[in-house]
A and B are shown apart, each in its own frame.
Chain A
Amino acid sequence: MTISIQRSHNDEAQTYNVELENVTLLTVLNHIKTSLDPTLTYSHGCRSGVCGSCAVQVNGREQLMCEYKPSDGDEVEPIRNARVIRDLVVDSSMVERCNRAGMGWSESSKADHVSAEKMERIETQSDCILCVSCYSACPVYAANPDFIGPFALTRVWRYVNDPRESDIESKMATVQTNGIWDCTLCGACVPVCPQSIAPMQDIKMLRMKSGMLGYPDPTMNFGGSFDLGGWDF
């Protein structure tokens, strides 16, 4: 099997020929690093899809290397929207930056007892492994590098929607800027999530919550000039 991997030292794709079948991409890279080319650089950890270290792009789509089975001719590149440090390793500071910007944490909590049904409301969102595949797939970053973005907004919704949370005001105020209204609802973040989370859906939920709390919807533009195509009469 031949796979090509984008290298940073010469900014070119390097081709490797490996005789491994029916293994994960991570197994292939481990084989290359320990037997063929020790300079090939990538991140990995748990091997089982839960630590979020090994997201890359394969043929232009985000994949976890430990869950993806490569086939002949695959092209592997680092994830997008992030500074490449070396080969497939990128600067991961967006994890801290975006989660801080969105205030993705519990402010204060009440009530020990909560029904199973209510708790399940945040089950999917709290499955997030911060692999940042959604961040890589998001087209908004081309226009707004300060966008709080899909994984952090999912995290905000996870706390806003937590039945135990007693203070959601500050979070809802925070996500008004560079947050829920900057999303184009294109949905690119949804299919790439290895945990089947749908950040776009969570952003929609935050928008609804925002409306309920009386925040204006800037995408509606009522009261301002009609600048939406087709309504300009």
Chain B
Amino acid sequence: MSKVLIIGSGGAGLVSALSAHEAGAEVIVASKTLPTRSQTSMAQGGMNAVLGADDSVADHIADTLKSSAGLGDEKRIAFMCEKAPEAIRWCNSIGLPFSRDDSGEIARRRLGGASAPRACYAQDYTGLKLLHTLYDQCLKAGIEFKNDRFLLNLITDQEANRVLGATFLVIETGEVEEIRADAVIMATGGYGNLYGKHSTNSVQATGDGLAAAVRAGARLADMEFIQFHPTALKGSSILISESARGAGGYLLSASKERFTDELAPRDVVARAIHDEIVASGAVYLDIRHLGEEFINHELPQERKLAQIYEGIDPVHELIPIKPSAHYSMGGIEVDVNCMSSVNGLFAVGECANHKTHGANRLGGNSLLELVVFGRECGRNASEYGERYPAPAVENPQYAKDTNFIRGVMYFTNQIDFYQKQEMLANIFYNNVGLVRDDMGLKAVLGAIRQMQKELPFMGPRDKSKVCNTNLVEFIEFGNKIELAEIIVVSAISRVESRGAHYRIDAPARNDQMFGAHTITWKEDGVLCADFLL
């Protein structure tokens, strides 16, 4: 029996846990939170699948390809779209309470960029209900959870380029723990929290898994592609669902005039809002004309959150909004089997790059991706571990990380990392956001390199061994700095505009030079980048 370690317990982690368990593996899920507290709970829109004769798989493939702006892998997109109906039926069979249409079939709605209504949903709680249903099934299957484990590093045999397990900080005790396994699945989510208060993401989305993977020698792909959601609350970046515009909401300028087509693709609308904010100072979402009854029924979360965070009632007032970082298209590069460039290391979900989203993700494809590829990934990891059991060899990683956790307490703390973190978020939003140029990106790169040098002069000020969240947040900050450099180097290298990556100094798409994936990796700690098909 192979032992599979899954790091991260959102939708992708739990689907692969069930799949690896079904394939006969011993499964351990290690995660920094309780499974139901992961970011999957925040997904609202739905999960794309062609269920009826009014739509076709070919159209789903075509829409996804078009949105990917030349960086989607047609075969893998086709695989995902073809498997979509089966994935939905599977979710239904384990109890996900989908909303229904008049015929009793799973209800679907149209999201931006889709040629037909094909996002299957459960009210505006699709992610929440998917996540909880999966968690319930994991408990039924007796899957072992190790919660409050903060990932430090992967354990690898560098000679053989083979993963052997991972090390974790046990948050409650402050001890370092080593978990060995025959195969490891990374399912740690995206890196949107780099943008801090300019992101719709959970505070947990700090890219820990990607940072550990790149340190272990894995290749990352297309890290410069970060999707901005057009409508987040101005002060807090809390998401106002796309369905607000889908139902007829208007975007208004500071002088209360409409200025763009509200239903264009996400990257187009987001840039139009950005430009309007630069020009007139503010943009508002107006849903007053939809009426109180509609808003209460269709957008109850949004009404509540606008009242709490902006102090306004959308039934009677305009909602101040801005575009905010929402989804990481970039991730750990994986092959058709979901395996990374490190043997035995798999990746799935937002932390992976399955090359299904390319330069711009289509709404409703992220939950779909994690179910379809989660099922593949779990089975493949189980089979891999069966065929190639990890050797029980000594490895210095545990000792190294134990020393690090001890040593980090002695960092000098002359510089406050929370301030640097906020600065990183602000300069990322301004210079590595919707509109980028060479000068602005290089300025950010300089600031990041400075922060990397200053890390030993920062550190946790809390010296507690027990449940030290100040320490956890400091290590998360280190991970963000590591990824920030990779994102900015990728964005500087791609001197063209494509999907979510818009360079004002190179506004055209250039397939001849850049019709390829931005691949980044580290050799002896040095960052390398190349464009590869």
**What is the interface of chain A, defined by CB distance below 8 A to chain B?**
9, 22, 24, 33-35, 38-39, 41-53, 67, 69, 85-86, 89, 92, 95-96, 99-100, 103-107, 109, 112-116, 119, 122-123, 126-130, 155, 159, 162, 164-165
- In angstroms, Cα B37 to Cα A67, docked, is 16
Q: A186 vs B122: C-alpha distance in the bound complex, in angstroms?
A: 32
Report A-chain residues with C-beta under 8 Å of the C-beta of B418: 34-35, 38
Q: A52-B41, A127-B128, A162-B95 are in contact. List 18 more A-B contacts (CB 8 A).
A: A9-B464, A38-B461, A45-B33, A47-B202, A51-B41, A92-B34, A100-B139, A104-B136, A104-B139, A105-B137, A105-B140, A106-B94, A106-B137, A109-B94, A112-B89, A112-B105, A129-B36, A159-B95
16 chain-A/chain-B pairs, Cβ below 8 angstroms: A34-B418, A38-B418, A41-B467, A44-B203, A45-B204, A48-B239, A67-B304, A89-B467, A96-B139, A106-B133, A106-B136, A112-B92, A115-B104, A126-B132, A129-B128, A130-B37
Task: Establish whether residues A45 and B132, one from each chain, have CB atoms under 8 Å apart when the complex forms.
Answer: no
Question: What mask results when residues 88 to 117 of chain B are scored 1 for a CB within 8 Å of chain A, else 0?
Answer: 010011110111111111110000000000
- Cβ-closest chain A residue relative to B140: A105
By the criterion CB–CB under 8 Å, are A109 and B470 in contact? no
- List B295-322 residues whose CB lies under 8 Å from chain A: 301, 304-305, 308-309, 311
On whether the beta carbons of B470 and A46 are closer than 8 Å, the reply is: no
Closest residue of A by beta carbon distance from B470:
A38
Q: Is B42 an interface residue (CB 8 A)?
A: yes
Q: Using C-beta atoms within 8 Å of the partner chain, give the interface range for chain B.
A: 35 or more
Cβ A85 vs Cβ B172 within 8 A = yes
Contact residues of A: prevailing secondary structure: loop
Name the residue of chain A whose CB is nearest to the CB of B142. Answer: A100
CB distance from B451 to the nearest CB of A (A): 16
| CB–CB B461/A48 < 8 A | no
Query: How close is B183's CB to chain A, nearest CB, in angstroms?
Result: 24
In the complex, which residues of chain A have a beta carbon less than 8 angstroms from the beta carbon of B467? 41, 85-86, 89
With CB as the reference atom, state the residue of chain A lying closest to B105.
A113
User: How distant is the Cα of A109 from the Cα of B304 in the complex, in angstroms?
Assistant: 34
With A89-B467, A114-B104, A116-B101 already in contact, the answer to whether A164 and B92 are too (CB < 8 A) is yes
Which B-chain residue is minimally distant from A126 (CB atoms)? Answer: B97
| Nearest-Cβ distance from residue B449 to partner chain A, whole angstroms | 24
A50 touches B41 (CB 8 A): yes
Task: Give bound CA distance, A162 to B139, whole Å.
Answer: 18
The residue in chain B whose Cβ has the minimal distance to the Cβ of A44 is B203
